[in-house]
Amino acid sequence: MFGIIDQVLPNPKDYVREVLSNSFIDVSDGVNVFKGIQPRSNDEFEKKVLDIFTGYEVAFNFIRQSPYLQDEPNYLHSDEMMGDITVLFYLNERYPEGAGTTVYIPNDIKVIDYKFNRMCWFDSKELHSRNIKENFGVDYEARLVQVMFLKKI
């Protein structure tokens, strides 16, 4: 399973303004600290995703703000323990060339270019990484990605 949809939300700038008006926190899983997380629930993007993925429920929905050189616990990883499908939503209007995500599907490598208001998804078991290891931007221009894990009902 793999896909990309552009122009996901009708008013993405308003959505990002709302996101940036809220705070981000650090979350520990007992071993790692995930910095710059904003937990979300029942937001506009989640509703859109659940309209597309019938027969699934949201296991976890959050937005991650990752500024340039932020220490990250994982680079190449899978989300297998989080759900069945990983959904990413790119929220920066400005981003450096080469930004995005690479998914390492057996016998295939999918490079997803970062694009504002773009959503992509793939099987959570697939290894993947951000294309710019050290992230990008600072403050309100830091890398901003919504992450959602879906589980089959």
Write down the domain spans for the chain. Answer: 2-152
Closest CA to 136 of 75, 74, 67, 35: 67
Tell me how far apart the alpha carbons of residues 82 and 125 are, in angstroms, rounded to a whole number. Answer: 9
- Give the pLDDT confidence of 133-146 residue by residue, as tens digits: 999 999 999 999 99
Mean pLDDT of the chain: 94
What is the assigned CATH class of domain 2-152?
mainly beta
Query: What count of other Cβ atoms lies within 10 Å of the Cβ of residue 103?
Result: 21
Q: What pLDDT score does 127 carry?
A: 96
Token pair for residue 130?
A: 């951000």
Q: What pLDDT score does 29 carry?
A: 77
Q: Which helix (H) or strand (E) holds 20?
A: helix 12-20
Give me the torsion for CA of 153, 147, 28, 78, rounded to 10°.
70
- Give the pLDDT confidence of 31-88 residue by residue, as tens digits: 777 889 999 999 999 999 999 999 999 999 999 999 898 877 778 899 999 999 999 9
Residue 121 · residue 2 · CB < 8 Å: yes
Q: What pLDDT score does 109 carry?
A: 96
